[in-house]
Amino acid sequence: MRMRRWFPSILCLPLLTGAAVTAEERAAPAPASAGAEARMRRDITFLASDECEGRGPGTRGIDKAADYIADQFRKAGLKPGGVDGSYFQPFTIKANVLDEPARLVLTGPKGQTIALKQGVQFWPMALGGSGNEKAPVVFAGYGITNEKTNYDDYANVEVDNRIVILIRGAPKGGDKDRSRELMKGAPFLNKIVNAEKHGAAAVLIVNDADTARDGDDLLDFNYTAFERGVGKLPVCHVRRSVLERMLGGAEALTTLEKDISRELKPHSRELPGWTANVSVKMHRGAIDVKNIVGVVEGAGPLANETVVVGAHYDHLGYGGSSSLSPVRKMAVHHGADDNGSGTTTMMELARRFAAMRDRQGRRLVFIAFSGEELGLYGSEYYCKHPLFSLKETASMFNLDMVGRLRSDKTSGKPKLLSEGCGTAKPFRELLDKLGEKHGFKMVNKPSGFGPSDHASFCSKEVPVLFLWTDYHDDYHRPSDTSDKINIEGMRRIADLSQEAILTLARMDKPEYIKVKSDPGSPMKYEGPTLGIRPSYDDEEEGLLIGSVVEGRPAAKAGLKADDRIVSIDGKPIKNIQTYMTILGGRKKGDTIEIGLIRNGKKQTVKVKLE
Ligand SMILES: [Zn+2]
C-alpha cells in the first residue's frame, strides 16, 4: 500500500497509519517549506559566491563547490556512490596546460632590460602555441586585414620574423557596415592567425582603451585553455603600460588609437630599438574534474533499479568563449540560476528522500555533473562509465536553470518548462497532473535532446524528464547572481519534483520512446533549420557542411560548403547529434552565433533562425 501512497485518490491512507509516516513521504511538504527555502537560499548563495569562482573547471572554486555538495550528501545520509567509496567520480577534460611560467623580457633602445612578471604585467594565452622567440617588436595596430573595406594593418610594415604588438578589438569609427566588417578581425584567434599568415614570430596583445577604461585587466592563461586553439605562435596578453613605454608615453597610445579609428587608416610602425624575448611552453593535456554521486536506496522488488536525479554544478568560471558578457574581462560568472539553482534543488531533494523511511521503489542516484558548459562532459562520462547499470536505470530526471520562475503572461500562473515528456508514455500525463496540482502553467516539449545533461542519457535510450524556467538577460553573464533567484519558486519546483521522482521510482519501468523530432529521423525534425546538408561521411569533430540551400538562413548569413560548424552560442558541436540537440533547443526568430572553421580559420557568424 505504501508504494502508491502519493496518489491523490488514496491520500487518506497514510493518515491512518500513524507515526510510521514521515512528513516527507506525504505528497505535500508545505509545512516544511520555510525550512526548505532557508536551506536552499544558503546553498545557492554559497554556490554562486565569489569564493566558488563561477565553478569553472580547473579553478579551486569548483572544487570547493564539489566538497560542499559532497558534504551536504554526507550530512543528509546519502551513501557515497562514486569510486573507491567516495562521493566523487573523477574524469578529465582536454585543455591546454602551461608547463612552466612563461617569460617575457624586453630590451629597449638604451639597452635597458625589462623582465615582465607573469600574472602581473602579462599572461601567456592558451589560444597561442609554444615557442621561444627573440626578435624586434613591431606595432601592427589592431592586427586586422580586411579586403572588403580595404583596411590592412600589415600593409606598410615589415613583420616577417618580428614580434607584433597589437591592440585588442577593432577600430571604432566609420559607418555600421564598415565597423561590422572590421569586427570580423577582432577575435583573438583571427588576430593570431592573421599575424601567423604575415610571418610574425610571436604576438603580444594589449587591451583597447574601452576595455581598459575601468582597469587594464589581463586574461589569464586558463581563460582560453579549453578552446581548441589553432594558433601556433606564442601569444601573450600584456598590459597597456608596456606598449605605452615603447611608444614613448601613455598619451601616444591613446592618440594612436583615436587616429586609427577616426581616419580608419592603419598607423602601424616599427618600434626602433625594442626587442622582445618571449618564451611559452605548453601542451594539450587535460584537467581533472569530477561528478559528485550520492545514493538513496529504495526497497521492495524495484530496489535494484535506478532513477538518476541530476544537475550540473559547473559554470563558466571567469568567462571564456561561452560568456555572453559584452566585455570580455575576467569576471566571476556566478551561475546562480545556471546551474546553482538545479544543484540546490537536487540537494534539497536528496535530503528529503534520504529522510524517508522504507521508501518503496527504485534506488535514487543523485548526481552533480561537471563539464556541462564545455559540452555535457560529465553526463557523457557517466553514461560511458555508469556507476549503476544504465539498463537498469528506469529514467533520468534533470534540473538545469530552475531559479527564475516567472508568471506566464496569458495564464498568470508561474511557467515551468519541461522537456522529455515524449520519451516515455506516462510522462506527459504525469507532468500535466503535477503541474495542475502545484499551480504551474506547464509547457511540455516531447524531445529529450535539449541542451543539458539529460541528452546524454536520452542518447542511451533512458527516458528523461528535464525541468527549467527559461532563459533571461543574465544568462551566461556575471550578473546571474543569487539575489535574483526566486527562492520560493525553486522550492515549489522541488515540491513538484519530489512527487515526480517518487512516481518515477515506483511506476512500471517506462519504455523508452524515440521522439519523432529527435536525431535519427531528421525528416521529421521540427526545430528550426539552417538550410544546410551536413557532410555525413566526415569523421572529425564538428559538423562539416556538405551544401547550403539558397535563400535559407545559413546561405543568408554567408555559410558555405566545407565550413565546419564547431559551436552554437558557445556550446561545442561535436557531431550531428549535438548539432541537432542544440539547434533543436532554439526557436524560429532567435539569432544564434555559430562558431565555424573556414580554411583553417576560426570565425563566428550570427544567423537568424526562420
Ligand atoms: Zn549554461
- Could you read off the pLDDT of 31-61 as tens digits, one per residue? 457 799 999 999 999 999 999 999 999 999 9
Q: Rounded to the nearest whole angstrom, what is the distance from the C-alpha of residue 94 to the centroid of ligand 1? A: 19
| Cα angle value 47/50/53 (rounded, 5°) | 75
Mean pLDDT for the stretch of residues 94-116: 95
Q: Rounded to the nearest whole angstrom, what is the distance from the C-alpha of residue 176 to the centroid of ligand 1? A: 31
Identify any residues that bridge with 601 across adjacent strands, giving them in sequence order: 598
Q: Rounded to the nearest whole angstrom, what is the distance from the C-alpha of residue 61 to the centroid of ligand 1? A: 17
Identify any residues that bridge with 79 across adjacent strands, giving them in sequence order: 295
**pLDDT the model gives residue 23:** 42
Q: Rounded to the nearest whole angstrom, what is the distance from the C-alpha of residue 233 to the centroid of ligand 1? A: 31
Q: Rounded to the nearest whole angstrom, what is the distance from the C-alpha of residue 583 to the centroid of ligand 1? A: 15
Q: Rounded to the nearest whole angstrom, what is the distance from the C-alpha of residue 315 to the centroid of ligand 1? A: 6
Q: Rounded to the nearest whole angstrom, what is the distance from the C-alpha of residue 483 to the centroid of ligand 1? A: 18
Mean pLDDT for the stretch of residues 80-87: 97
**pLDDT the model gives residue 548:** 78
Neighbours of 353 (CB within 10 A): 23
Q: Which residues of 41-59 are buried (b: 16+ CB within 10 A; e: fewer)?
A: bebbbbbbbeebbbbbbbb
Q: Rounded to the nearest whole angstrom, what is the distance from the C-alpha of residue 476 to the centroid of ligand 1? A: 6
Q: Which residues contact 120 (CB under 8 A, 6 or more apart)?
A: none
**pLDDT the model gives residue 25:** 44
Q: Rounded to the nearest whole angstrom, what is the distance from the C-alpha of residue 521 to the centroid of ligand 1? A: 27
Q: Rounded to the nearest whole angstrom, what is the distance from the C-alpha of residue 329 to the centroid of ligand 1? A: 18
- Judged on CB neighbours under 10 Å (0-12, 13-18, 19+), 535 is middle
**pLDDT the model gives residue 217:** 94
**pLDDT the model gives residue 410:** 83
Q: Which tens digits make up the pLDDT trace of 483-533?
A: 999 999 999 999 999 999 999 999 999 999 998 765 543 334 567 888 887
Q: Which residues of 295-325 are buried (b: 16+ CB within 10 A; e: fewer)?
A: bbebeeebeebbbbbbbbbbbbbbbbbbbbe
Q: Rounded to the nearest whole angstrom, what is the distance from the C-alpha of residue 453 to the centroid of ligand 1? A: 11
The pLDDT-based confidence of 231 (bands split at 50, 70, 90) is: confident
Q: Rounded to the nearest whole angstrom, what is the distance from the C-alpha of residue 240 to the centroid of ligand 1? A: 32
At CB < 8 A and 24+ separation, what contacts does 59-62 make? 59/222, 59/317, 59/318, 61/317, 62/289, 62/313, 62/314, 62/317, 62/370
**pLDDT the model gives residue 586:** 85
**pLDDT the model gives residue 2:** 19
**pLDDT the model gives residue 524:** 40
Q: Rounded to the nearest whole angstrom, what is the distance from the C-alpha of residue 52 to the centroid of ligand 1? A: 16
- How high is the mean pLDDT of the chain? 89
Percent of the chain surpassing pLDDT 90: 73
Q: Rounded to the nearest whole angstrom, what is the distance from the C-alpha of residue 585 to the centroid of ligand 1? A: 13
**pLDDT the model gives residue 529:** 82
**pLDDT the model gives residue 516:** 75
459 to each of 208, 383, 535, how far by Cα in Å?
45, 9, 21
Q: Rounded to the nearest whole angstrom, what is the distance from the C-alpha of residue 372 to the centroid of ligand 1? A: 8
Q: Which of 20-24, 188-192, 399-403 has the lowest mean pLDDT?
A: 20-24
Q: Rounded to the nearest whole angstrom, what is the distance from the C-alpha of residue 407 to the centroid of ligand 1? A: 22
Q: Rounded to the nearest whole angstrom, what is the distance from the C-alpha of residue 57 to the centroid of ligand 1? A: 13
Neighbours of 192 (CB within 10 A): 30
Q: Rounded to the nearest whole angstrom, what is the distance from the C-alpha of residue 338 to the centroid of ligand 1? A: 5
Element (H, E) at 435: helix 427-437
Q: Rounded to the nearest whole angstrom, what is the distance from the C-alpha of residue 470 to the centroid of ligand 1? A: 11
Is the pLDDT at 126 greater than 80? The verdict is yes
Q: Which tens digits make up the pLDDT trace of 347-396?
A: 999 999 999 999 999 999 999 999 999 989 999 999 999 999 999 999 99
Q: Rounded to the nearest whole angstrom, what is the distance from the C-alpha of residue 313 to the centroid of ligand 1? A: 10
Q: Rounded to the nearest whole angstrom, what is the distance from the C-alpha of residue 606 to the centroid of ligand 1? A: 19
Q: Rounded to the nearest whole angstrom, what is the distance from the C-alpha of residue 323 to the centroid of ligand 1? A: 9
Q: Which of 223-232, 401-410, 518-527 has the lowest mean pLDDT?
A: 518-527
**pLDDT the model gives residue 14:** 29
Altogether, the residues listed in the chain come to a count of: 610
Q: Rounded to the nearest whole angstrom, what is the distance from the C-alpha of residue 277 to the centroid of ligand 1? A: 39
Q: Rounded to the nearest whole angstrom, what is the distance from the C-alpha of residue 435 to the centroid of ligand 1? A: 25
How are beta strands 564-568 and 532-534 bridged, if at all?
A: unpaired
Instruction: Extract the C-alpha cell encoding 96.
Output: 591546454
Q: Rounded to the nearest whole angstrom, what is the distance from the C-alpha of residue 342 to the centroid of ligand 1? A: 11
Secondary structure letter of residue 72 according to DSSP: H
- C-alpha gyration radius of the chain: 27
Q: Which residues contact 327 (CB under 8 A, 6 or more apart)?
A: 211
**149: amino acid identity, one letter:** T
Three-state secondary structure call for residue 476? coil
Most confident of 6-20, 525-539, 578-592: 578-592
Q: Rounded to the nearest whole angstrom, what is the distance from the C-alpha of residue 333 to the centroid of ligand 1? A: 10
**pLDDT the model gives residue 180:** 85
pTM of the model: 0.78
Q: Rounded to the nearest whole angstrom, what is the distance from the C-alpha of residue 244 to the centroid of ligand 1? A: 38
**Distance (Å, whole) CA 28 – CA 9:** 14
**Distance (Å, whole) CA 531 – CA 590:** 15
Which residue's entry shows cell 552533480? Answer: 368
Three-state secondary structure call for residue 128? coil
Sign of CA dihedral 102, 167, 220, 129: negative
**pLDDT the model gives residue 207:** 97
Q: Which residues contact 406 (CB under 8 A, 6 or more apart)?
A: 414, 415, 469, 470, 486
Q: Which residues of 480-510 are buried (b: 16+ CB within 10 A; e: fewer)?
A: bbbebbbbbbbbbbbbbbbbbbbbbbbbeeb
**pLDDT the model gives residue 517:** 61
Q: Rounded to the nearest whole angstrom, what is the distance from the C-alpha of residue 88 to the centroid of ligand 1? A: 22
Is the pLDDT at 597 greater than 60? The verdict is yes
**156: amino acid identity, one letter:** N
- Pick from 451, 364, 466, 455: nearest CA to 421: 466
Is the pLDDT at 476 greater than 50? The verdict is yes
Q: Rounded to the nearest whole angstrom, what is the distance from the C-alpha of residue 81 to the centroid of ligand 1? A: 25
Q: What is the 3-state secondary structure (H, E, C) of 500-560?
A: HHHHHHHCCCCCCCCCCCCCCCHHHCCCCCCCEEECCCCCCCCEEEEEECCCCHHHHCCCC
Q: Rounded to the nearest whole angstrom, what is the distance from the C-alpha of residue 357 to the centroid of ligand 1? A: 36
The pLDDT-based confidence of 171 (bands split at 50, 70, 90) is: very high
**Distance (Å, whole) CA 117 – CA 242:** 12
**Distance (Å, whole) CA 338 – CA 346:** 13
Q: Which tens digits make up the pLDDT trace of 419-455?
A: 999 999 999 999 999 999 999 999 999 999 888 999 9
**pLDDT the model gives residue 538:** 59
Q: Rounded to the nearest whole angstrom, what is the distance from the C-alpha of residue 121 to the centroid of ligand 1? A: 32
Q: Which tens digits make up the pLDDT trace of 268-302?
A: 999 999 999 999 999 989 999 999 999 999 999 99
